Amino acid sequence: MLVQKRVAAIHDISGLGKCSLTVALPIISSVGIETAIMPTAVLSTHTGGFTGYTYRDLTTDLRPFAAHWKSLGISFDAIYSGYLGSFEQIEIVKEFIGEFRKDGCIAVVDPAMADNGKMYALFDMRFAREMASLCAVADIIVPNITEAVFMLGREYKKGPYTKEYIEELLFALSEPGPSKVVLTGVGFDETSIGAASYDRNTGEIHYALSKAIPGIYHGTGDIFASALVASYLSGRSLADSARIAVDFVCGSIERTKEAGTDVRFGVNFEAGLMKLAEDIGNCR
């Protein structure tokens, strides 16, 4: 029996709405990887499209959490951060990466803070600049196009995009630090959408596109990044992992569209978990 890999997932818990830890935990666990969680906040729902949600900030718990884990001699194969609620939380995640990064431990940052040309509720552009400084210390970053341009201090423009535009963005995102960038929301025409992955060490760029389904589906960025982490840590290449994650998200959206459920409550990713584990396992 191989020693199980372990990920530290640092995101909020939104009780309803299937995003952040409520998707990271089942997705990463489903491929046999242990998922330790550090909750940054507890909300009754996510902040996208709901009003009246509760929000309990857990910033003051995070350093004691990390100190306790350190005292237990625990190590991680990956540190995976997502939605962070404050500037201080960004600082704490940087410290956490500094403390726990060792040979073989990778830092994956999903700068979950914006989509479709807008920052999420509660965030401003200063936050985007701060998030860019966290991305600079990561090994892999997983922004969508909006997060990418906001971190670079640029204007958002709607797709479709050109290859030149996307590839210049990939280079600009990698330049301050992360050697691998997986950019989501990439499409070259109205019919397809997916991800572009770039590895600065090899110079390779790969595209993983699938059928575009119109609409805004909450939590799909978190589902994509979690599937990517699950796959990459299982030994698949970055490009394969992006392809697998795109297919997983696309299937989840298709099932949700067919069911006609309220999109604020998230997509049906659960029914795709078995196939995800098979897709990841097949090429080991």
Interacting residues with ligand PXL (CB under 6 A) = 12, 14, 19-20, 43, 46-48, 83, 112, 120, 219, 221-222
CB of 194 or CB of 219, closer to ligand PXL: 219
Closest separation in Å from C-beta 120 to ligand PXL: 4
157 φ/ψ angles, rounded to the nearest 5 degrees: -130, 145
Shortest distance in whole angstroms from residue 232 CB to ligand PXL:
20
Between 93 and 239, name the residue whose CB sits nearer to ligand PXL.
Answer: 93
Closer residue to ligand PXL, CB minimum distance, 5 or 18: 18
The least CB distance from residue 117 to ligand PXL, in Å, is: 14
d(C-alpha 12, C-alpha 57), whole Å:
9
Of 166, 224, 177, nearest to 200 by C-alpha is 177
First to last CA, the chain: 15
**Full DSSP string of 159-212:** S---HHHHHHHHHHHHTTS-SEEEEEEEEEETTEEEEEEEETTTTEEEEEEEE-
**Closest among 76, 138, 152, 86 to 110, alpha carbons compared:** 138
Q: Strand, coil or helix: what is 6?
A: strand
Question: Which tokens hold the place of 264?
Answer: 């604020």
Nearer to ligand PXL by Cβ, of 57 and 254: the residue is: 57
Q: How far apart are alpha carbons 267 and 221 in whole angstroms?
A: 11
What residue type is assigned to position 125 of the chain?
M
Report, in Å, the least distance between residue 119 CB and ligand PXL: 10
Name which of 11 and 236 has its Cβ closer to ligand PXL.
11
Looking at 215-272, list the stretches that DSSP marks H as alpha helix, in order from N- to C-terminal side: 220-233, 238-259
Nearer to ligand PXL, 47 or 81 (CB): 47
Query: Minimal distance in Å, beta carbon 154 to ligand PXL?
Result: 21
Q: What's the closest the beta carbon of residue 249 comes to ligand PXL, in angstroms? A: 12
